[in-house]
Structure 1
Amino acid sequence: MEILLEAFRSLGKDKLRTFLSMLGIVIGVIAVIVAIAIGAGTTANVTARISSLGSNVIIITPGFTGGFGGRAAMALTSVLQETDVQNIQQMAPDVADVTPILQKNFNVIYQATNTVVTVVGAYPDTFSILDLPLQSGRLLNQNDENADANVAVIGNVIATTLFGNEDPVGQTVYVSTGGFQVPITIVGELKQTGSKLTFNPDNMLIIPYTTAAAKLIQLNGGVSQIIASAKSAQTALNAVDEINNILYMRLQNTNQYRVISQNQILSTVSQTTDVLTLLLASIAAISMVVGGIGIMNIMLVSVTERTKEIGVKMAMGATRRRIMVEFLVESMFITIVAGAIGVGLSFLIAALVTYLASGLGLTVIITWPSIVLSFGVSVAIGLFFGLYPAYLASKKSPVEALRYE
């Protein structure tokens, strides 16, 4: 306790110098905690977006060709067929639901209002696969599919754009295509959900697959992509393998298609954000090292300035070990206090970043491991960079120290 009080008195003699020596550690601790918090928040946001697709979603998209010798890779848009969907339904026991997707942007007109809308043709299973909640009206059903019915379920944002406060259910819109206008009756409106990876249901007009294939998006049996869901999380990987085998039997080339599950996407995103978080934290930690060097410099100056004081203490019986511990405690006291201040301010900075980036959907999540890590590193820096000055102080000759001016 006596050593701690002595260290406190020594540091209090030059408050400005002590503050400046703390500043590098304070900034470093804040930078490390906030960097890790941004990484954690980003991971949580992206994971939530991907998870919002629904449970155990599997996405099958066309592959790419070309890309050699300076040529741009081109999507193989005609690779996937509706027959692939039928084969998956019949031959993949671990797949619960599957639907082809026809997707294209069209100009959609309602009275004097018109806007560009993503029109999606799909089976009724789409709503359960993507977990799309209904706000009013009804969803598409198998009767609509069988009859090539000119009906649609509309996304919340597009409904507001076209109809304002008017109820869209029962209204008729017109989809412009090739000089013709196809009338579509709205039978249901979805709740607002936000983006679901490759889909944005809020801006979509979902119509029966047969209607899209016959009247709007003719691909001669081809489909834009296929989405499916596994029967459970435990069978998701088996479902992916089954779909891969079914497509390979027909295409004999794995480069012509891509099959990826929601869990695989989450794993890839997690790995990527972990690497970026580590990179950000490593860069931020450099400022802590710089702060440690500053503390060493201050302590070396302090040892020189207090040479005579050291000689007096040794003459009065202070051991070399006690002198060394005293200077080491001063160094660690600086970093402990600076670390505590940095931890406190990091919460304020995190709240500020969250507020300023709220429009981007960024959330900053401070975790206890990041606090323990940054505070622990700050204490270790005090120990490491204070060790050499403390050692020099303990090695001074009492006689020479007393004669020092």
Structure 2
Amino acid sequence: MSDTTLEVGQTPTLTITRMAHGGEGIATGPDGRVVFVRGAYPGDVVEATVTEVKKRFGRADATRIVTAGEYHGEQSCPAAARGAGCCDFGDIDYGREVELKHDILLGQLRRVIDVEKLPDARLIDLTPHRGWRTRVRLGVDGQGRAGTRMLGSHELVTDVACTQVAPALAAGVVGEGARTFTPGAEVIAVLDSEGNRHIVETRKAPRGERVEDYTEVIEGDGEVVERADGVEFRFPPTAFWQAHTAAPDLYTGLVREWVSAVETRRPVAWDLYGGVGLFVPALGDSLGEKSQIVSVDYSAAATASEQAGLKGYDVVRVNKRVDQAVGNLPAPDVIVLDPPRTGAGKKVIELSARAQPVTVIHVGCDPATFSRDVAAWDEAGYGITDLAVINAFPGTHHFEVMARLNKKIADN
């Protein structure tokens, strides 16, 4: 170890060797300590300012690229260039983005399972890479201007829109000449499948929570229309729907493919964290006309109204927290679960595994919590047989993972 001790405010030159979960590059500091560097990617040599020092690691911000590695490109998002926390991967060569995200996932999974036994992952890059977001939540400053929050701050970038957002969604909402809103509120804007824009105001959401009640409809009629997997869905702007315009059809297609391979004993499926019922047609069609789908979600906005497009399916809607519902449901052949970023958790997985499903399809939008959930499935006797890494959030460190898990066969 070097005699040079890592200290806040230092500006060492660091070489990035790999990526950490959360979008930070990993380097070795001058004293041998691990340093997580924001704004840098594998192969980069950067000058970085140390912002935090702990016993075993430090954190730093890349302030100058000395030598750019193979992943580094030009910043494509003007909001991120002004300090917004939106496109932290906005300066990555998007042709390499899904590959890098696959490496991040393997780094997380390696901690909990033997990754050498995993099937080859499908790497799926959703397009478009910019202008893909059809729903966005924005802050409103004291002057009524909507914008994207600065990284690690309540301050907003209001003069330019993030390039994730579909241009027709951002027009007149963010930037020069945009309308104003109630100071201190939040704005939810949605561009639906019919090309209609819906804008509502809500109160500011507590950290980590969703706000489903809106205080005012600014634009649109308050009913979003989305079409996916050949079905029409109608719901309030505050209900959950996949952000990337291409995501719903891709996800339902994988569910259809993987469920069609199931040898049915009991044509019952659980659709956990089911929202408005996106996966119901894929499950119902794949399991056959006598199948029953139990869809569980606590969101009142998602479950309040029956979906006309699902009337041909035997759907039981359960408006409860998933962890409170899974112990009292009819035993399934198939479980699909699409939990929030915090993951499903050990309790939900243990209770689900006790029902002895033939196949589980687990969707995860955070590699760390997804990996913890995979570890829980592994402990319950289920292993991954199919794996897909989906770049569903281009320009950001976020991505989606879908895995099919089956009961493991004991080694003889």
> TM-score normalised by the shorter chain: which range applies?
under 0.3
Larger helix share, 1 or 2: 1
Larger strand share, 1 or 2: 2
Task: Using CA pairs under 8 Å that are at least 6 residues apart, name the structure with larger relative contact order, 1 or 2.
Answer: 1
From the CA coordinates, give the structure whose radius of gyration is larger.
1
Return the TM-score normalized by structure 2: 0.18
Return the TM-score normalized by structure 1: 0.18
